[in-house]
Amino acid sequence: MSRTTDCAPRHAAAVVAQLPASANIFYGVNPTAGPAREGGGRGTEADINRLAALIADLDVKPGGCASLDVAKAIDGDLTAIMGVTDRRGTQ
């Protein structure tokens, strides 16, 4: 069963505590349009109010990145697009 809950950050711990231990939990960190809702389905990019963070799940697997080098190249491209410096001090 797939279920989506959109809540204020201060309520997140209580929402997660109510889930079964076997739950596969994903969360977003970017503020979304309200109101808080439960069972409303996944949000879309149109629901995001502001980009607080860019999270990229770059899996090396069939159907994902073909190799670690591909994942690193994507990371480098995203770093350049965002105009930020990575932890090594390079752009």
Q: How many CB atoms lie within 10 A of CB 2?
A: 7
Tokens describing residue 58 = 């770059």
The verdict on 34 and 67 lying in the same domain is no
The verdict on 67 and 39 lying in the same domain is no
The verdict on 71 and 38 lying in the same domain is no
The verdict on 43 and 60 lying in the same domain is no
The verdict on 38 and 61 lying in the same domain is no
Distance CA 67, CA 73 (A): 10
Domain that holds residue 30: 5-47
CB 5 within 8 A of CB 42: no
| Number of domains composing the chain | 2
Higher pLDDT, 19 or 35: 19
pTM summary value: 0.52
The verdict on 64 and 42 lying in the same domain is no
Task: Quick: pLDDT tens for 31-79.
Answer: 887 777 777 677 778 888 888 888 888 999 999 999 999 999 999 998 8
The verdict on 20 and 43 lying in the same domain is yes
Note the residue count of the chain.
Answer: 91
